[in-house]
Amino acid sequence: MAPARATAPDPCVAAFFDLDNTVVRGASLFYFARGLHARGFFSSRELRGFARRAVHFALRGEVHGHLLEVRELALAFVAGHSTAEIRAIGEEVYEEHVEAKVRPGVRVLADRHLAQGAPVWLVTAAPVELADVVARRLGLTGALGTVAESVDGVYTGRLVGEPVHGAAKAAAVRALAERSGWDLARCAAYSDSANDLPLLSMVGRPVAVNPDRSLRRHAARHGWEVREFRGWHRAARWTVRAGTAGAAGAAALVLAGLVRRAA
C-alpha cells in the first residue's frame, strides 16, 4: 500500500490587510494631514486647536468623541475641493511619506497570497483616496476605506456611510465576500489592533501583526498566529490605537508633532 501523501495547506480564498501599523508604520491619516497642511488646506492655528481638543478627550477618556472629531475635521478640510485634486494629493503623499513606511515583511505576506492566486484587499478607516493609492502601488487587488460624499466631483463635507472601523470594517469585508462568493472560513485577515477583532474573528485564518496588548492576549487565548515585524522606527511612536483612552493622547502627540514641523 502506497504511503499517504502530505497535502499542502489549502490556499486562502482571499486576504484582508489593515493599513495603519500593519502594512504601514504609523498612522496614514497623519501622513495625509502632513500633505494637506503643506498644501495650505489648513493653518497651524487650526491644527493647534484640534490638538487641544484631542488632549481634552484623552484626559476625559472619551475616545469615541475624539474619533468623531477626527472625522469631522477631515471632512471639513476637503469640503469644496474636487475629488481629482484630493486623489492627486494622495499619490504625492504616498511618494513623500508612505512608501518608505511600508513594512517589507508584511508586503511579502501579501505577495505570497497574490502568488497563490488569492485576491488581497486593503481594509482601513483611512480615506479611500489614500487606501486606493497604497493598494495600487503595492499591486494589491483593491481597497476598502472611508468614503467622503461628493457631488459632481466636489466633496460635500459629509460621509457616505460610516468610517470603515471596528464592526463597520467587518461588515464591509463581509459584504465584499458575499458579492465575490468567497467563503470567509477560507480567508485570512491581518491586523495589529484589537479594534479589528470583529474582522479577525470572522475569518478562518486570523493573523495578529505586531499586535497591541489586547490583541496579543486574545491571540494567545485563541491560538491565533502572531507575526512580528516591529523594527522600532521613529514613525512607530506615532501609532494611533483607538481602543483605549491612551489613543486620543497618542493622536494629540501626533498632531502636536505636526504643529511643531509646521511652525
Across the strands, what pairs with 159?
148
Across the strands, what pairs with 151?
154
Enumerate residues 6+ apart whose C-beta is below 8 A from 56.
none
Distance, CA of 201 to CA of 199 (rounded, Å):
5
Question: According to the model, what pLDDT value does residue 199 have?
Answer: 98
Enumerate residues 6+ apart whose C-beta is below 8 A from 46.
none
pLDDT at 4 over 80: no
The helix or strand, by DSSP H or E, that contains position 150, with its residue range, turns out to be: strand 142-151
Predicted confidence (pLDDT) per residue in 163-187, tens digit: 888 999 999 999 999 999 999 999 9
Rounded to the nearest angstrom, the gap between the alpha carbon of residue 76 and the centroid of all alpha carbons in its chain is 20
Q: Which stretch, 28-42, 54-68, 145-159, 190-204, has highest mean pLDDT? A: 190-204
What cell does 141 get?
487587488
More confident residue, 15 or 12: 15
Across the strands, what pairs with 20?
24
Q: What is the three-class DSSP state of 161?
A: coil
Predicted confidence (pLDDT) per residue in 205-244, tens digit: 999 999 999 999 999 999 999 999 875 443 334 333 433 3
Distance, CA of 148 to CA of 78 (rounded, Å):
9
Distance, CA of 58 to CA of 153 (rounded, Å):
36
**Exposure on the CB side of residue 201, measured as CA atoms within 13 A:** 15
- What domains can you pick out in the chain, each with its CATH number? 15-262 (3.40.50.1000)
Tell me what the mean pLDDT of segment 116-139 comes to. Answer: 94
Predicted confidence (pLDDT) per residue in 113-127, tens digit: 999 999 999 999 888
How many other CB atoms are found less than 10 A from the CB of residue 160?
Answer: 11
Distance, CA of 71 to CA of 146 (rounded, Å):
10
Q: Can you list the alpha helix ranges (DSSP code H) found in 98-189?
A: 104-115, 128-137, 167-180
Q: Angle of helix 128-137 relative to helix 83-93, nearest 10 degrees?
A: 50
What per-residue string of b and e applies to 36-68 under the rule 16 or more CB within 10 Å gives b? bbeeebbeeeebbebbebbbebbeeeebeebbe
Distance, CA of 16 to CA of 118 (rounded, Å):
10
Predicted confidence (pLDDT) per residue in 77-112, tens digit: 788 999 999 999 999 999 999 999 999 999 999 999
pLDDT at 245 over 70: no
**Residue positions annotated with a catalytic role:** 18, 20
Question: According to the model, what pLDDT value does residue 47 have?
Answer: 64
pTM of the model as a whole? 0.80
